[in-house]
Amino acid sequence: VALTLEIIQDYARAIGDLNPLYFDEEYARSSPFGGLIAPPTIHVPLLFLATDATDWMRTPGTVNAGQSWYYRRPERPGDVVTLRARALDKVYRSERLFIVHDNVFLDAGGQALCAGRGWTVRPR
């Protein structure tokens, strides 16, 4: 997936985050980041852009129970990222099926950008 400024700014606006590091090129250039960046949580749209709507992970009714992410560095407009996703485990608890997801986003050089675990409850 190619990360565009539009994806970054739409996502930032949706969480009411108008930080100039996402919107103001000049401000961002003079910051320690040296240019526009994406919010750390940009992995959310990237995850859904990288997976097909029919992917089992996205079954309608799936409930998010928890998330744990590590952000190695800020992502930037123009980054081309690859998602490596797999199901690590499945657990029945209180008659509900939980899946443990393992997601890693890699940059064009194969380096990890961010990585996370997710816990979802599967619909019946």
Partner 1 sequence: MISAGYEFPPVEVLVTREMIRAYAEASFDFNPLHLDESWMEGAEFGQTRYGGVIAHGLMTYSLVARMVTDVVYPLGGWHERCEMRFKAPVSPGDTVTTSGRVTNVRHLGESLLYTASVRAHNQHGTIVASGDAMGRVPLAL
Asked whether position 34 contacts partner 1 by CB under 8 A, the answer is no
Question: Sign (positive/negative) of CA torsion 32, 46, 44, 118?
Answer: negative
Interface characters, 37-76, with partner 1 (x: CB under 8 A): --xxx--xx--xx---x----x-xxxxxxxxxxxx-xx--
Q: How far apart are the first and last CA of the chain?
A: 31
- Amino acid 97 reads L
**CB 89: neighbour CB atoms within 10 A?**
11
Binding site for partner 1 (CB under 8 A): 10-11, 13-17, 19, 21, 31-32, 39-41, 44-45, 48-49, 53, 58, 60-71, 73-74, 94-96, 119, 121, 123-124
